[in-house]
Amino acid sequence: MRQVPLEMHRLAPGRVVEWRLRSTAPLLPPPRSPGLAAARRASFNQEKHFTAAEETRAGEEPTASWIAVTFEVAGPLDESVMARVLLNFVGRHEVLRSVFQRLAGELSCKPGSVEDMSLELHEVGDFDSGELLAGHLADRFRHCIDTLSWPLFTAGAVLREDSATVYLAFDHIVCDGMSMPIVVHELQTAYEAALLGEQAVLPSAPSYLDFADEQRRRYLAIGADDPRLDYWKSFIARNGEFFPRFPLDLGVQPGRMYPIVNEASTLLDAEEADLFEKQCFAVDGKPFMGVLAASAVSLREVGGPGVYRGFMPVSERGGGPWAHSMGWFVNTLPIEFDVSVGQDFAQVMAGVRAAFTEMIGHLDVPFVRAWELLAPEEFAARDWPYPVNFFSYIDMRKCAGAERYGNWRPTSHVWSAHSNGTCTWFQRDAEGLHINSIYVDTPRARRTMGDLLDALRRTVQDITRADTARVFVPSAR
């Protein structure tokens, strides 16, 4: 399962239909109504995201983004069966039928009743080329996914005589990247069972609303002097500021947002990725640590510093009850390690391993809360203040249903209306190691990111091709 721009995805043409979620009951009861008792407080991630949408809605550059997934269904799609499966899916995950509302300044989240929900089928039309189809879907997602409007997702299918492509797109406020494999596994499993007249046995999926409300209760009262923020304070003291800057020139002006470039490519094929992982294990590291090490070395190779500082998102699902729940289960923490000239791969990997071990021990405080307490002036802004160094890695082979990906062919897609920096995501699947980057569309950024991608590809291939476990990390080209 890869993450690629929707416009890059090879979609076969066909007839498009959509299922649109509707409620037969009022979604928002009047103020001071007893119906508000069922509302719970939104998570820190959700509130910051919602606030940014509120503050930019009237401006020229409103905040907008979506996360989407597509997957294949063999044979002609039974539309009525898929509609029932989708409605059951909405019933299992409260966050997908929730409405957000401000109550006394705080953001509340109230789910609509499952009994009041229905899916309306809409005929969209026929598309005779994959390019036109991808363009339509991208445009559709941009216009119908709105943080401030309900529903917060859309679903549909591209129908053909012998197959179908099912698609769903969500606002970030109800999901994260790891939610997309959950969507694919649950819908495919339930649909296949329903075709046989059976009820799918699905894992427990507790509500993200409970997770969010509990997180809010636990951390809203902490102050900037809380010892749980000491890790952040130590990083800020060395970094000089809250956010770790992306260390290369992207040609951006302070306070300005730019259109985006959305690119994806394969860094290593399946055989090369297996060899890369063996090299990582040989120096007592994990594959994601090797990719992070390679990224840090590549940044240094094209002009970055000898100390890597960046943000790393970490899943809050863990191995606990939330493993199969839809929601925004992501915390973000800073990570820092030495990547100075003269070290070999084993030495850099040791630094990454130690830094990650230290970082993961401080997962407790939510990122948005740390931001609010330790950088209040920057927190008041709608976006991160400048280009930030960001690293994300997901091993899709560990997701439920991954053994079926060859047939299901799931693909995730992300989009943002604009940016003032760059974000990079790595995915490992059965076909290799892949990268997807979104960055500002400036001439300088295109050159910089092109140079960085070239350096990264060389670095991971150098590691893969080495004959010994102690791979030399090149200091110059």
Can you give the length of the chain in residues?
A: 477
For the chain, list residues with pLDDT below 50.
35-37, 468-470, 475-477
| Domains of the chain and CATH, by start | 2-25+37-211 (3.30.559.10), 225-465 (3.30.559.30)
d(CA 273, CA 461): 9
Token digits of residue 263: 């690119």
How far, in Å, are 278, 348, 464 from residue 340 at the CA level? 24, 9, 21
Token digits of residue 345: 């791969």
Hunting for tokens 């799931």 — which residue is that? 410
User: Measured over all CA atoms, what is the biggest interatomic distance in the chain, rounded to whole angstroms?
Assistant: 70
Under 8 Å between Cβ of 439 and 451: no
Strand partners, 154: 169
Token digits of residue 348: 């850099």
| pLDDT in the model for residue 390 | 97
Under 8 Å between Cβ of 289 and 295: no
pTM for the full model?
A: 0.95
Q: 3-state SS string over the chain?
A: CEECCHHHCCCCCEEEEEEEEEECCCCCCCCCCHHHHHCEECCHHHHHHHHHHHHHCCCCCCCCEEEEEEEEEECCCCHHHHHHHHHHHHHHCHHHHEEEEEECCEEEEEECCHHHEEEEEEEEEEECCHHHHHHHHHHHHHHHCCCCCCCCEEEEEEECCCEEEEEEEECHHHCCCCHHHHHHHHHHHHHHHHHCCCCCCCCCCCCHHHHHHHHHHHHCCCCCCCHHHHHHHHHHHHHCCCCCECCCCCCCCCCCCECEEEEEEEEEEHHHHHHHHHHHHHCCCCHHHHHHHHHHHHHHHCCCCCEEEEEEEEECCCCCCCCCCCCCCEEEEEEEEECCCCCEHHHHHHHHHHHHHHHHCCCCCCHHHHHHHHCHHHHCCCCCCCCECECEEEEHHHCCCHHHHHHHCCEEEEEECCECCEEEEEEEECCEEEEEEEEECCHHHHHHHHHHHHHHHHHHHHHHHCCCCCCECCCCC
d(CA 324, CA 462): 37
| pLDDT in the model for residue 30 | 57
| pLDDT in the model for residue 37 | 45
Token digits of residue 472: 């030399």
Token digits of residue 212: 């969010």
Q: What is the CA radius of gyration of the chain?
A: 23
d(CA 175, CA 460): 31
Amino acid at 135: G
List CB contacts of 274: < 8 A, sequence separation 6 or more.
Answer: none
Amino acid at 372: E
